[in-house]
Amino acid sequence: MPAVFLVFSDRHDVARAAAKGGLERAFGDGLELIEVASVDEFFLAPSRASCDLLVLICPELSEFELALNGASPEAGVSYPVVALGEGIVSSGLTVIPSEDWHAPLLAQVFRGALQTHSLIRENECLRGDLMTFARRVSHDLRANLSGILATAELLKDILSEHSEEDAALTMPLFDCTQAVLKLIERTSQVARATAEHRLKEEVDMAQAVWAGRQSAEQAAVKSRIQMNEPEDWPQVHGVLAWLEVVWANLLQLAVQRSKSGASVELHWEEKEHEFLFTVRDHGPDLTLEQCAALMWPFDKLHQGHSTKQWNLPIARRLVELQKGEFGCEPIPEGGARFFFTLPKESPTADTAA
């Protein structure tokens, strides 16, 4: 049962009648309508906290702004505001001109205002949940895991005084803890990226590639795998921290798949509307179905038949948040080619996520 406040109800008889007709048509017998003469009276009303929708009749711009300011989350309340009036123009306001003061149309506007507001609140809540996970939960998990590592170190030292073989039994503690820490880091990166609106800026792709190579360098040296890249890289528009993760995940997977002594090839190409970046390995052959499984969407990893690895789903998500495309395809002569694109655009014209 929505509680609707009708403010300045005595200011315009035609607008008042149209608004009441639209509200009754939209919400029927479940409507709780409270009419007040001014914004001040509305703010002083005991039932204001239960307001679901605020409808203003022919307000002045200052009155409209006052009502909107009172509906901010900072004020502790939140509700949609709709005005029936003329001469108020703003992208953030819902204003219905006099030629549209018809009950059927107003009913759709009122229902739409409540639905849109509900979706916005739900989206804000989900983003808040993601940020809580990315910052608070991941921090607390890392703190507890650090305690486990410290205890494992102590246990290893005690056991090593008696037998190196006994001390070696603690290695699974270190391996499992490091694996969980890595998983926390990766998933919290995606959570932060999804929740935050990051302004895209000019990025030197060479810097992002260098950072990504560092995470795969040790494994590449151990397996005698050479990572070959062009001498020059372009300037692109994106989020540097996300691109570093994308390159790190692609190169780690490529090195992991490649045979000892093989090479991993990095390449880029400038197209009309975008930049194309590729990583080619010389690992086992892949079918198209296997490629699709490897780059399973991150938001579908909860499905039972999804991929068990995280590299490509995370990289794909971070690329898509920058409005690029991500893909994987088999190479006829062996191995696989992983690629992503970034659109050419002004850094001030778009926001990632």
Tens digit of pLDDT for each residue in 131-168? Answer: 888 888 888 888 889 999 999 999 999 988 888 888 88
What does the alpha-carbon distance between residue 92 and residue 101 come to, in Å, rounded to a whole number?
A: 20
- Domain 198-352 falls under CATH 3.30.565.10: yes
What does the alpha-carbon distance between residue 340 and residue 353 come to, in Å, rounded to a whole number?
A: 16
Query: What percentage of the chain reaches a pLDDT higher than 90?
Result: 47
CATH node for 3-101:
3.40.50.2300
Give the per-residue pLDDT at 49.
81
Give the per-residue pLDDT at 165.
86
Give the per-residue pLDDT at 53.
93
Give the per-residue pLDDT at 188.
87
Give the per-residue pLDDT at 348.
46
Section 170-197 average pLDDT:
86
Residue spans per domain, the chain: 3-101, 126-195, 198-352
Which among 288, 292, 212, 221 is positioned nearest to 252, based on CA atoms? 212
Section 46-56 average pLDDT:
88
Helices and strands in the chain, H and E counts: 11, 14
The pTM of this model reads: 0.74
* Per-residue pLDDT tens digits for 287-321: 888 888 888 888 888 876 666 778 899 999 999 99
What does the alpha-carbon distance between residue 197 and residue 149 come to, in Å, rounded to a whole number?
A: 35
Give the per-residue pLDDT at 268.
97
* Per-residue pLDDT tens digits for 33-48: 999 998 888 888 888 8
Which among 32, 28, 39 is positioned nearest to 4, based on CA atoms? 32
What does the alpha-carbon distance between residue 108 and residue 56 come to, in Å, rounded to a whole number?
A: 17
